[in-house]
Amino acid sequence: MNGAENLLETLVASGMEICFANPGTSEMQLVSAIGNRPDMRAVLCLFEGVVAGAADGYARMADKPALTLLHLGSGFANSMANQHNAMRAHVPLVNMVGDHATWHVKYDAPLTSDVAAHAAISSSWVRASTSADDLALAGAQAVHAALQGAGKIATFIAPANHAWEAATQKVNPLPRPQRPQAPAAAIEQAAALLTAGGQAGNCALFLGGQALRENNLQLAAQIAETTGARLMCETFPARLQRGKGRPLVQRLPYFAEPAAAQLQDLDRMILIGAKAPVSFFAYPGKASWLAPEDCEMATLAEVDQDIHAALAALAQRLGLDPEKAGGADSPGAETAATATPPEPESEPDKLTPLAIGQSLARMLPENAIVVDEAATCGLKLFAVTEQAAAHDWLTLTGGAIGQGLPLSLGAALACPDRKVVNLQADGSAMYTVQALWSMAREQTDVVCVIMNNRSYAILNIELARVGATAPTPKTLSMLDLSRPDLDWVSLATGMGVPASRAETPRQFETQLAAALSQPGPHLIEALVVQNM
Amino acid sequence: MNGAENLLETLVASGMEICFANPGTSEMQLVSAIGNRPDMRAVLCLFEGVVAGAADGYARMADKPALTLLHLGSGFANSMANQHNAMRAHVPLVNMVGDHATWHVKYDAPLTSDVAAHAAISSSWVRASTSADDLALAGAQAVHAALQGAGKIATFIAPANHAWEAATQKVNPLPRPQRPQAPAAAIEQAAALLTAGGQAGNCALFLGGQALRENNLQLAAQIAETTGARLMCETFPARLQRGKGRPLVQRLPYFAEPAAAQLQDLDRMILIGAKAPVSFFAYPGKASWLAPEDCEMATLAEVDQDIHAALAALAQRLGLDPEKAGGADSPGAETAATATPPEPESEPDKLTPLAIGQSLARMLPENAIVVDEAATCGLKLFAVTEQAAAHDWLTLTGGAIGQGLPLSLGAALACPDRKVVNLQADGSAMYTVQALWSMAREQTDVVCVIMNNRSYAILNIELARVGATAPTPKTLSMLDLSRPDLDWVSLATGMGVPASRAETPRQFETQLAAALSQPGPHLIEALVVQNM
């Protein structure tokens, strides 16, 4: 048995089931070892940004890490933007990165670079194996490191010779780490703040991470209802369970002004799996801190702590019966079924984000997964799908665009019995467009809706917001995706994904119905008219 | 005048003329400042890997740096693979990277990361500005740092508020650095080794960097002819001037075995702008050092030194008249016109790399630029184009695939009066496929020939070479680009580049003739049959 085979034995025993791969010469033994294991699924991706984004999507939906296989420092570099997003999503992820044979590094061959320096930027744990026997141990430790807290990125580096040299020591999995508990004082402080009096509605539970799963949302809603607090969540949740029968949560807006407006009446915030809200970017003369300056903050549970236990303890402390939380028949919480209906469409013939959202709200299948990288269009789409059938909503956690298509690929592989709908901005989609090919190869049930507005629309807004002077045609050309227009039907079919183009709400609805009714991937290019 | 405008004033005065850009919110003031300058060309790229690869191609052909515009750490990360290749190509490159406003960093907003840690991996110089006034100075210093030696990567980081705050101090360009001279002792040592006797042909001039420009090649050829030395070059030159009338240079093969065979008779090597040859990857039981162990090595000039002066000094030291070097009528050097004709095609109906190369050898226009990222196909293409019209041959210097399309874009923008022919492997092309859109927008004269063999062919070879066991279907699926086949005609037309598909040598030749005769970009998908 060589080092690679011994490693795979340990990784499988540690619970790893899938590997998103873009290998090179230095990983051939690892490829071969994976190829010999029926219990490790291999998914080839044609770019490393797809590898990392798919591993993130898998982890968000499977609640366990996927393995990646990457080729030295430069291969890792290509994955780094989506590693950043995965880090911000607090998911577990295990990177397996090949490197030159140990004796080869000193020659500084062309592809030589400092793999660990690349990995250290987003990984919480990095180490290279020191021998063929040590390689499996490095793998076991990486899985262990990835499972710390809510989930971490752990990267182990496999010099090529450690993969091909003989290994003799079997390495067992390490025990699964437990999430740390929030301290008792945090429960007390949260309870005290919630019951401190003040105006009803001037206190908010501000939720992120695991607090946005249905069982925890029901607990939080029960607490909110009892205390009069508002239920809010971070702008870019990794996974928010919402829709019919689930508690309504106010999502913090993206732009600083409406975000600050939403927070302006608060004098108390209880942070649960989320950090205090700050603006995404800074703007001239505007504060980055969004809550009122005198708003008291208390943390019930950090994102890495046991959020469910903390919420249950708080509910109990408040005299509630946590067992009663949950279900659409929960008497307390306002649920989506009781929310206000969406506004009527003022221009029924135009394919606006609102029109798309309304179709989606009607047609989204029960238990769908929505991957939202729709940028400027996403805000409206989120608002009008509040009453759709129960679903999971996944967002761009780290702001590094090019995540939506890969995330959808990974989510679909984690949940083969659920439909994935990817609401995708055109500019962002181009970064990792190669994901479409893997969707076709794996025949994942993903419906990609490309919001083609032929521009980086968000930047046209931001240009004015940062106080830039009147833009010249050249300035605007740097924010504009026309000349030539991208043809998404050609791009998708070129990678084996059936595609169609919609220019009216009726066309869109017909195409969406068809795509949702068939297995396998489909792409709808929606030529959207934007009314911001 | 704000910091961004003041910076642009300095960058233009420092000789910067073009900016490859993929901006975000934190760069809006920089975009606006560029948009107001008619003397700074702006080229929007839809992915940062295209930005860096295009800047590399521009620098190789223009012999001066391009500017990039990148969005924080994650935007920089997407460019890093091609930054690595540019570093290995020893080209000058100036990265301008936006970051959060200085006061915003402490809030750790979602897109926050350590920009400098990203940049430090391939840059020789990195610094963030400390004020709006300092921003222009950082820019001037970056240009100066990029022009050190043969060329370096210099990265300056622009916090958003330094771009929008007022700047009052005009900053002049720094003086252009001179290349250091090779020491006199190096000239003496090289001369001594060359005239040390031994078998004729057992000494080689091993060339890289600027030594591969025509004037230096003529000098080297004159020296080789006089001393009986062989003229060889590194496997992956940044820019080799070759073809009719230019000295023939033996290019070191990629695989270690034929490379070692080519070197096996050498007892002396003179390194000129190149490092001693080592294998690209390590293999079990094979040496990484390729020259015979007892081969004496001497360095005439490092890649960063003044290679032309060193060659001229060596020629003079050997009693030659450097003024006489050069031109096809130089009596000494063997030139391409006298080289052996290419082997006849054994299977005239099959579209092999040889058939493609033979068409190219006949049809390549005078002074063309060939960008070779053809991987396994490239070896044959190089061999059979030795007698083509004079041209420049650019290769993948750092081994990080996904360089060919962007490099072609940048080379074409540097030399608008020359045709670019991109010989491109299919697997590699997918990494930075977004470059096609910028080619269409800028209407660059690039003919992309996609060698579609529907696999990572090199890896199928390497799998056996690293001693992996008999591959399973799953193993092979990780090296295989079929299921589904990529349709390059759809991909190219989806990004606005006219395209056609060739399945026979005759179809290919007809399509190549048409593409070469028209302005603007064209793509030919060549369904190649590979006879390795």
Contact present, B18 and B413 (Cβ < 8 Å): yes
User: pTM value?
Assistant: 0.96
Q: Is B288 on the interface with A (CB under 8 A)?
A: yes
Give, in order, the Cα–Cα distances in Å from A107 to each of A100, B261, B280, B441.
Answer: 10, 19, 9, 42
Minimum distance, in Å, between the CA of residue B74 and any CA atom of chain A: 5
Contact present, A244 and A387 (Cβ < 8 Å): yes
User: Ramachandran region of residue B252, left (φ > 0), alpha (ψ -120 to 50) or beta?
Assistant: beta
Minimum distance, in Å, between the CA of residue B175 and any CA atom of chain A: 30
Q: Is A77 on the interface with B (CB under 8 A)?
A: yes
Q: Is A468 on the interface with B (CB under 8 A)?
A: yes
Q: Is B422 on the interface with A (CB under 8 A)?
A: no
Token reading at B299: 């360095």
Q: Where are the alpha helices (DSSP H) in B471-526?
A: 473-477, 488-494, 505-517
Distance CA(B4)–CA(B163), nearest Å, equals: 4
Q: Which of A8, A30, A56, A74 to mutate to test the interface with B (most CBs of B within 10 A)?
A: A74
For B183-222, the pLDDT digits (tens) are 999 999 999 999 987 777 799 999 999 999 999 999 999 9
Q: Is B484 on the interface with A (CB under 8 A)?
A: yes
Q: Is B113 on the interface with A (CB under 8 A)?
A: yes
What is the full per-residue pLDDT of chain B (532 aa) written as tens digits?
Answer: 999 999 999 999 999 999 999 999 999 999 999 999 999 999 999 999 999 999 999 999 999 999 999 999 999 999 999 999 999 999 999 999 999 999 999 999 999 999 999 999 999 999 999 999 999 999 999 999 999 999 999 999 999 999 999 999 999 999 999 999 999 999 999 999 999 877 777 999 999 999 999 999 999 999 999 999 999 999 999 999 999 999 999 999 999 899 999 999 999 999 999 999 999 999 999 999 999 999 999 999 999 999 999 999 999 999 998 777 654 444 445 666 555 555 555 677 899 999 999 999 999 999 999 999 998 788 889 999 999 999 999 999 999 999 999 999 999 999 999 999 999 999 999 999 999 999 999 999 999 999 988 777 778 888 888 777 789 999 999 999 999 999 999 999 999 999 999 999 999 999 999 999 999 999 999 999 875 4
Taking an 8 Å cut-off on Cβ atoms, the answer to whether B463 and A104 are in contact is: no
Residue of A28, A397, A478 with shortest CB distance to B42: A478
Closest CA to A23 of B75, B86, B468: B468
Distance CA(B318)–CA(B324), nearest Å, equals: 14
ipTM reported for the complex, 2 dp? 0.96
Which residues in A lie closer than 8 A to residue B35 (C-beta atoms)?
Answer: 471-478
Q: Name every residue whose Cβ is closer than 8 Å to that of residue B146 and which is 6 or more positions away in sequence.
A: B65, B92, B93, B94, B125, B152, B153, B154
What is the full per-residue pLDDT of chain A (532 aa) written as tens digits?
Answer: 999 999 999 999 999 999 999 999 999 999 999 999 999 999 999 999 999 999 999 999 999 999 999 999 999 999 999 999 999 999 999 999 999 999 999 999 999 999 999 999 999 999 999 999 999 999 999 999 999 999 999 999 999 999 999 999 999 999 999 999 999 999 999 999 999 877 777 999 999 999 999 999 999 999 999 999 999 999 999 999 999 999 999 999 999 899 999 999 999 999 999 999 999 999 998 999 999 999 999 999 999 999 999 999 999 999 998 777 654 444 445 666 555 555 555 677 899 999 999 999 999 999 999 999 998 788 889 999 999 999 999 999 999 999 999 999 999 999 999 999 999 999 999 999 999 999 999 999 999 999 988 777 778 888 888 777 789 999 999 998 999 999 999 999 999 999 999 999 999 999 999 999 999 999 999 999 875 4
Q: Is B254 on the interface with A (CB under 8 A)?
A: no
For B358-409, the pLDDT digits (tens) are 999 999 999 999 999 998 788 889 999 999 999 999 999 999 999 999 999 9
Q: Which of B271, B474, B480 to mutate to test the interface with A (most CBs of A within 10 A)?
A: B474
Strands A368-373 and A391-395: parallel
Q: Is A287 on the interface with B (CB under 8 A)?
A: no
Which pLDDT belongs to residue A331? 42
Residue of B122, B472, B485 with shortest CB distance to A36: B472
Distance CA(A111)–CA(B279), nearest Å, equals: 11
Q: Is B454 on the interface with A (CB under 8 A)?
A: no
Which residues in B lie closer than 8 A to residue A437 (C-beta atoms)?
Answer: 430, 484, 486
Token reading at A33: 């070892």
Residue contacts between A and B (CB atoms, under 8 Å): 325
Exposed e or buried b for every residue in B408-425, given b needs 16+ CB within 10 A?
Answer: bbbbbbbbeebbbbbbbb
Closest CA to A68 of A7, A128, A20: A20
Minimum distance, in Å, between the CA of residue B466 and any CA atom of chain A: 7
Strand order in the sheet with A67-71: A41-44, A18-21, A67-71, A93-99, A153-159, A125-128
Contact present, B373 and B396 (Cβ < 8 Å): yes
Shortest CA distance from B400: residue in chain A: A74
Angle at A447 between CA A446 and CA A449, to 5 degrees: 135
Which residues in A lie closer than 8 A to residue B117 (C-beta atoms)?
Answer: 117, 120-121
Work out the number of other CB atoms within 10 angstroms of the CB of residue B454: 16
